[in-house]
Every structure is written in C-alpha cells, then in structure tokens.
C-alpha cells in the first residue's frame, strides 16, 4: 500500500494499462479481462487486476495531466514492481491526414515542461517509447486491419492554452496530435528501467473542430485496448 494506491503486495501485475479516466479503467477491465478484481479505489482512482489470455494485467487510472500520472506511475514502478506501462487514451489530431477514430502510436513526446524538469535541469531529455512495444503495437494494429499513425506527439501541461503560434510550429514539424501524459510516462519508464508506450485514439481535431460524440467512442477505444494488450505480450523479435 502506498499513499495513493491501496493495493497490497502482489495485487498489481507487471503489465499495467493506464487510461486517464478511472471509469474507462473499469470499462476496459470489465470488457477485456477475465475475473477482474478491484485493487484500488483510493480517492476514486480505480485499478483492476485480472487475466487476459492467461496473462496477469492491471488496468489503473492515471488521472488527467502529467503531474497526476507521475504520482501513479512512480508508485506502480517503484513500489509495486511494474515493468510495462502502456497509456491508453484519447488525443486531439493536429495534422490534416489524421482523422477521427484513427490510432496513433506515440514514438516520441515533445513538451514545454514535465514534472521531471527539476531532475533533468539543463538537460533537454528526449522522451521516447520502447521500440519493442512500438513495433509490436504496429504489428498488432495491422493484424486488426488498422493502419496506425506512428510518430511524434505533444504532451501539453495546459488544457486551455492561448498559443496558436505554438500549434503552428508543431504542425509544421509534423507533430501528429496533442494529449497530456505521455512525455512524463516515457521519462519515468527510462528512469526506472521499464517499458512504456502510448496508444491513442483521435477523439477530436484541432484544425477542423470535428469531435467524436460519446456514443461513437467505445468501438474505437476497444481497438486501442486490444492493440495495447497484444503489444504488451508479443513475443520479442528474433
């Protein structure tokens, strides 16, 4: 048990999927895991552990934004021995060729700042995904008939920003989408010698203003969870 996670030793699996929304964690656990057991509900942040194709998996909410994710990811890695963390969540597209419901695999995550900035100090560390997970996720998507976008994303630390100039720079440099957690997730995975990846579903588009209604999101999010699970347990390439 930690300050923020009430699970007892052994209740957290080495593979953890991390949606931001605790209710999405509950939905994913009840939809994809066999015999899911609630292992955490401290402060309303839900975590479940169960089996997927015989493999133990925990699905645990991270909350919104890098500071919140940093709390849970640190404790999962440091105190519970998690080895693989995969963020599953939504994002806003920034490129015209990226559409609603598309899947994005975040190879890198740029940011203006992360909770790790005080540790890195003058170092401009480059947060990136684990290549094995990234490659396995791309193959898993292809097996489902999905062509994911693979590339850089932007992890924002402000939801309501007023920086159209920054958005223009990111679009010009090929940033695929914006979300709020992946950069710090990648920082922490590197620090603790773990694997990390963000598998994202496009729920809205910054250029067009288009957005998925809630009623149409579940199927796209289901694809994202399947890709994450298959990537987590894929056999390593020879």
Q: Residue 235's pLDDT band (boundaries 50, 70, 90)? A: confident
pTM of the model: 0.95
Q: Residue 238's pLDDT band (boundaries 50, 70, 90)? A: low
Does 160 reside within a domain? Answer: yes
Eight-class DSSP state of 160: S
Predicted pLDDT at 220: 67
Please report which helix (H) or strand (E) contains residue 104, including its range. strand 103-110
The interaxial angle of helices 131-143 and 217-232, nearest 10 deg, is: 130
Contact 206, 92 (CB under 8 A): yes
Q: Does pLDDT of 218 surpass 70?
A: no
At 37, list the tokens: 């057991």
* Cα(190)–Cα(188) distance, integer angstroms: 5
Domain coverage including residue 215? 15-232
Does 6 reside within a domain? Answer: no
Q: Which range has the worst mean pLDDT, 92-101, 197-206, 211-220?
A: 211-220
More confident residue, 215 or 89: 89
Residue with tokens 């390593």: 236
- Residue whose C-alpha is closest to residue 75's, from 12, 118, 126: 12
Q: Does pLDDT of 214 surpass 90?
A: no
| CB neighbour list of residue 218: distance below 8 Å, 6 or more residues apart | 27
Does 1 reside within a domain? Answer: no
Domain count, the chain: 1
Q: Does pLDDT of 236 surpass 80?
A: no
Q: Does pLDDT of 13 surpass 70?
A: yes
Q: Residue 219's pLDDT band (boundaries 50, 70, 90)? A: low
pLDDT over 90, % of the chain: 91
Predicted pLDDT at 205: 96
204 is catalytic: yes
Contact 7, 48 (CB under 8 A): no
Q: Does pLDDT of 27 surpass 70?
A: yes
Q: Residue 216's pLDDT band (boundaries 50, 70, 90)? A: confident
Predicted pLDDT at 112: 94
Q: What is the mean predicted confidence (pLDDT) over 105-115? A: 96
Q: How far is residue 110 CA from its own chain's centroid?
A: 14
Does 202 reside within a domain? Answer: yes
Does 141 reside within a domain? Answer: yes
Question: Among residues 21, 41, 79, 204, which one is catalytic?
Answer: 204
Predicted pLDDT at 213: 87
Residue 158 sits in a domain whose CATH number is: 3.40.50.1580
pLDDT tens string 121-169: 999 999 999 999 999 999 999 999 999 999 999 999 998 888 889 999 9
Does 7 reside within a domain? Answer: no
């Amino acid at each position: 048990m930690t300050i923020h996670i009430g699970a007892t030793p052994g209740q957290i699996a080495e593979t953890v999927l991390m949606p931001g929304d605790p209710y999405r964690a509950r939905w994913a656990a009840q939809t994809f895991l066999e015999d899911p057991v609630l292992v955490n509900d401290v402060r309303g942040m839900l975590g479940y552990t169960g089996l997927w194709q015989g493999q133990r998996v925990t699905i645990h909410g991270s909350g919104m934004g890098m500071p919140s994710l940093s709390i849970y990811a640190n404790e999962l890695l440091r105190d519970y021995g998690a080895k693989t963390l995969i963020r599953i969540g939504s994002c806003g597209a920034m490129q015209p060729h990226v559409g609603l419901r598309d899947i994005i695999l975040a190879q890198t995550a740029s940011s203006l700042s992360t909770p790790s900035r005080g540790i890195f100090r003058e170092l401009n560390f480059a947060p990136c995904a684990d290549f094995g997970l990234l490659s396995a996720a791309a193959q898993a998507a292809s097996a489902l008939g999905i062509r994911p976008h693979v590339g850089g994303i932007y992890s924002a630390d402000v939801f309501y920003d007023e920086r159209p100039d920054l958005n223009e720079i990111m679009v010009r440099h090929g940033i695929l989408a914006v979300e709020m957690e992946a950069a710090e997730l990648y920082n922490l995975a590197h620090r603790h010698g773990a694997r990390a990846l963000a598998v994202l579903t496009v729920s809205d588009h910054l250029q067009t203003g288009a957005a998925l209604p809630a009623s149409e999101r579940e199927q796209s999010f289901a694809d994202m969870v399947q890709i994450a699970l298959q990537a987590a347990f894929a056999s390593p390439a020879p």
